[in-house]
Structure 1
Amino acid sequence: MTVRPSRARHVPAALAAALLLASCTADTSGGGKAGADSAGDPLFPRLGNGGYDVGHYGLRIDYDLQRRRLDGTAVVTAEATHALSSFSLDLAGLTVRRVTVDGKKAQARRKGDKLVVRPARIVAKGATFRTTVDYGGRPKKLTDPDGSTEGWVPTDDGALVVGEPAGSMTWFPGNNHPSDKASYDIAVTVPKGWTALAGGELRGERTRGGRTTFSWHSGEPMASYLATATIGKFELRRSETRSGLPLYVAVDPREAADSAKPLDRIEEILKWETTLFGPYPFSSAGAIVDHEPKGVDYALEVQTKPVYPEAPDHATVLHELAHQWFGNSVTPETWQDMWLNEGFATYAEWLWQEQHGGKPAQETFDELYAKDEDDALWEFPPGDPGSAENISGDPVYERGAMVLQQLRLAVGDRTFFEILKEWPAEYRHGNADADDFIAFCEKKADEDLGELFDTWLYKDGRPDWEYEK
């Protein structure tokens, strides 16, 4: 995610697990128990669910632009992690018409932004089960704790769909937490002449009765916040890189002229990032450029096709593509560690400058370190945002990058650049937290880096200590 300028103590995995366990309730009626109605996230305790792991989402959506009405069917294929008498899915607004589990009608009730499902029979531990939800209504946008807008955001020619951190539940039911990643097939039907965009590769485009269905397939695991179903009067260009990687670049014609040069550099940027971060982790790449949707003033690293609310500059494209490794392939276990996304993507910008005739990363670090102690940069440590409203704050981005520069000084360039490449390889398509990263770095460097991370990742205020090799 790229935010336009201006604007807990570290929670170990054990605590998150304890929160999740506490939200599971025994069901004495039949041997199973209810799945947790929370993933135990320290910053967003109402997001996500427990008792199952989703393997695949099959989403079929029909959108009426005039009425701004969505009708959808979601098929959620999951594996039960314990015997389930009931379980919940995240869904904000919209009306649920029918729910089945493995083809049998299930009881369903709403509890805030939760859809609580009780199947006809207990789902056995380890069993793969399929939940089908038929639903519809006018999807809504959300206002985040930091004041930003996300979810299904209407535009003058369709909808911009962005989901960080919670917006995906405005248009499909699911386990809306980054810790549960899955593959996706998303088919969106719109009036002929409009384009519907999602992650992955276009598997089909069929027009019947004046309406066109676009079918997209994302085979690699994806967190729900990285899904989209953006709709508009886009010009969709399909091509391939020299290495054969499919590119899908969709641009609102009103942004075509201003976005041409930055988007033409996608292949160049990917090639450079591959030399630093290792093989590109997905089966396609691209971009979606919309035209100034009301309320959305940030870019988002939607998997394979970052979304830009207007023509992006080169630095923004580079930042969002770096997220394909850091955030999309290696995804934080909880929102507590959003710095693992944004710190790396911001540092990629520093490295591009350093390696393309600009100022060295250390000079960028020094300029930031010189900021007054009451500057927003020092309001909280990047590893401890403290509250949901802070996860897109300056410390997560800039001080997150400063952590990496201090690490580079500590371990030396050779080891540091090996970490940049081997870290995303070690956790490819998985989840990780700060403890995982610290342990990985200490093992790679063969030294104790506790003081460095305690100071730069978790200490309040401007650190009065810098690492000098």
Structure 2
Amino acid sequence: MLHTSRPSGRRLRAGLLAAASAALIAAALPAPAPLGIGDPLYPELGNPGYDVLSYDIGLTYGGSNTKPLSAVTVIDARATEALDRVNLDFTHGKVASVEVNGARAEFATTGEDLVVTPADPLPAGSILRITVHHTSDPGGSQAGGWVKTGDGLVMANQADAAHRVFPCNDHPSDKAFFTFRVTAPKGVTAVANGLPQGRWTHGEQVTSTYRTMHPMATELAQVSLGRSVVLRRTGPHGLPVRDVVPAADRTTLEPWLKKTPGQLAWMESKVGRYPFETYGVLIADMDTGFELETQTLSLFERSLFTQPGYPQWYVDSIMVHELSHHWFGDSVSPHAWSDLWLNEGHATWYEALYAEEQAKQSMERRMRNAYTYSDGWRAAGGPPATPRRAAPGQQIGIFRPVVYDGSALVLYALRQEIGRSAFEQLERAWVSEYRDSSASTADFTALASRVSGRDLSGFFRAWLYAKKTPPMPGHKDWRSDPVKAPRAG
């Protein structure tokens, strides 16, 4: 029987009044426009006026990696100033409706922003809940966000692509807790950051829920959908380790996967206890040209482990590179993207140190080679702490050699300058003092001066900001030859 209901006169009048109020507010405001927090490399990324506390992201996957997913994103935030509007970063999806604190809100899209006008202004200090009903589209170019795999989808959001998947404040300085509720057909394995919170079957679909126990930057979000198997083992101190790999490759990949607990123990011996609730390796059949330190579940290309020609020590060291990011880049996130050298310089440092200690690949030889190229890298991409912006349409163009080996070279020079003991103390202090937060280059240099008992401002000014590479402490004979440096993107 068809049943219809009509709202009471009181409810109808209240709804009309709210709609009229929202319309009057919207009419009094200037036209919606993209905002940003003025990041030196991505000036329109992030949004002022609020601090996100948590995301609850519901995704429904139909089994096709080309069709949009239906989605609901719920954002809990605190207003840090009085707001008539709230800007969210979002693109590559269609918005059906928006609510703020349970009331329908006006919205508009402009540039890569979703601009929300609530029915009533939001006072500073107030808590707000924004609910966005939208789609999440994996179609189009593979410029980040959803990445198609041989059997599904994964996320690769670094540096500025999380808002291609879900509405957010897409900047690492605003970290938050995440909950993922992923619905997929039976036979599709859905895995996300954090720990599983439950799994429910309803008809031919399964909903899996995951939650992070530590705050996370949007660029580190991960949801994997595919014909995968989840393999479980135990790391140091009983840490749960779960790997997500193509089911057909389970046996082939096991010799690599079983190394993770030992690599975790090695990293803990250098910088202290692993900072999150779980770890694991996500291996996907994709062709991106990079690996990615998505929080608690590092993303790797299948070919890294199956393609012949890579030396064993090299693959091992790349695994450690992504693992070490969980201290440097994930737990301690960059305050601005120009602080990227702290992420990649440290990950490259521990990659090289692991190769030296486990496979006798000389750190000094690698650093001398980097010194030879350093002036050329600085000329092509800028100094380590002031990298040049990426070219339009090339979001990952900031990931140049100068922020990898060129920045590990800065750390090598620092160890030469202050000594091994002080350097190792600094590394442990850095990941301890700034755990679960974001930190800047200025924070690192100040901590280095405090730990070493010396004013290192001149040292860092030369090594991080100069166009030319300073002389290497203890190796005055090293020379940098910009002519020899390979081209950097």
Q: Distance in 1 between matches of 2:283 and 2:407?
A: 27
Pair 276,439 (structure 1): closer, same or farther in 2 beyond 3 Å: same
What is residue 102 of structure 1 aligned with on the other side? 101
Q: Distance in 2 between matches of 1:417 and 1:433?
A: 19
Q: Distance in 2 between matches of 1:379 and 1:100?
A: 43
**Offset of 1:173 from its aligned partner?**
0.5
How many percent identity over aligned positions?
33
- Which residue of the other structure, out of 385, 395, 408, is the alignment partner of 1:401? 408
The DSSP-based 3-state class of the residue aligned with 2:214 is: strand
For normalisation by structure 2, the TM-score amounts to 0.84
**Offset of 1:258 from its aligned partner?**
4.4
**Offset of 1:56 from its aligned partner?**
0.3
Gaps of 5+ in 1: 1-26, 144-148
Alpha carbon RMSD of aligned pairs, Å? 2.4
What is residue 183 of structure 2 aligned with on the other side? 189
CA contact (8 A) 2:270 2:424 kept: yes
Q: Distance in 1 between matches of 2:377 and 2:135?
A: 46
1:75 aligned to 2:82? no
Alignment of 1:312-461 (within 5 A): 312=305, 313-356=315-358, 358-371=360-373, 374=376, 379-389=381-391, 390-461=397-468
CA contact (8 A) 1:442 1:448 kept: yes
The DSSP-based 3-state class of the residue aligned with 2:144 is: strand
What is residue 240 of structure 2 aligned with on the other side? 246
What is residue 3 of structure 1 aligned with on the other side? none
**Worse overlay, 220-229 or 164-173:** 164-173
Q: Distance in 2 between matches of 1:221 and 1:465?
A: 40
Pair 377,353 (structure 1): closer, same or farther in 2 beyond 3 Å: farther
Q: Distance in 1 between matches of 2:172 and 2:247?
A: 33
**Offset of 1:275 from its aligned partner?**
1.4
Aligned residue identity for 1:193 = G
Q: Distance in 1 between matches of 2:357 and 2:428?
A: 17
What is residue 279 of structure 1 aligned with on the other side? 273
Superimposed CA distance per residue, residues 85-107 of structure 1 (whole angstroms, 9 cap, x where no aligned partner): 11111111211111111101111
**Offset of 1:456 from its aligned partner?**
1.9
Alignment of 1:121-270 (within 5 A): 121-136=120-135, 138-140=137-139, 149-270=143-264
Q: Distance in 2 between matches of 1:417 and 1:134?
A: 48
For normalisation by structure 1, the TM-score amounts to 0.87
CA contact (8 A) 2:197 2:210 kept: yes
Alignment of 1:54-65 (within 5 A): 54-65=52-63
Count of residue pairs the alignment pairs up: 435
Q: Distance in 2 between matches of 1:90 and 1:251?
A: 31
Superimposed CA distance per residue, residues 354-374 of structure 1 (whole angstroms, 9 cap, x where no aligned partner): 333514422321122234854
CA contact (8 A) 2:374 2:406 kept: no
Pair 141,415 (structure 1): closer, same or farther in 2 beyond 3 Å: farther
Q: Distance in 2 between matches of 1:141 and 1:416?
A: 46
CA contact (8 A) 1:157 1:232 kept: yes
Q: Distance in 2 between matches of 1:196 and 1:158?
A: 10
Which structure has the highest strand share of the two? Answer: 1
What is residue 20 of structure 2 aligned with on the other side? none
Q: Distance in 2 between matches of 1:35 and 1:112?
A: 8
Q: Distance in 1 between matches of 2:104 and 2:374?
A: 61
- Which residue of the other structure, out of 292, 297, 317, is the alignment partner of 1:305? 297
Which structure has the highest helix share of the two? Answer: 2
What is residue 473 of structure 2 aligned with on the other side? 467
**Worse overlay, 175-184 or 65-74:** 65-74
Pair 450,290 (structure 1): closer, same or farther in 2 beyond 3 Å: same
What is residue 51 of structure 1 aligned with on the other side? 49
Aligned residue identity for 1:65 = G
CA contact (8 A) 2:377 2:401 kept: no
Superimposed CA distance per residue, residues 63-118 of structure 1 (whole angstroms, 9 cap, x where no aligned partner): 11236220011110000001111111111121111111110111111112111001
What is residue 15 of structure 1 aligned with on the other side? none
Aligned residue identity for 1:208 = H
CA contact (8 A) 2:371 2:406 kept: no
Pair 262,99 (structure 1): closer, same or farther in 2 beyond 3 Å: same
Aligned residue identity for 2:239 = L
**Offset of 1:156 from its aligned partner?**
3.1
The DSSP-based 3-state class of the residue aligned with 2:41 is: coil
**Offset of 1:376 from its aligned partner?**
7.8
Aligned residue identity for 1:358 = K
Q: Which has the larger radius of gyration?
A: 2
Q: Distance in 2 between matches of 1:256 and 1:354?
A: 29
Aligned residue identity for 1:332 = P
CA contact (8 A) 1:54 1:175 kept: yes
**Worse overlay, 67-76 or 79-88:** 67-76
CA contact (8 A) 1:36 1:51 kept: no
The DSSP-based 3-state class of the residue aligned with 1:304 is: coil
Return the structure number with greater relative CO, CA threshold 8 A, min gap 6: 1
Aligned residue identity for 1:48 = G
CA contact (8 A) 1:255 1:289 kept: no
CA contact (8 A) 1:306 1:320 kept: yes
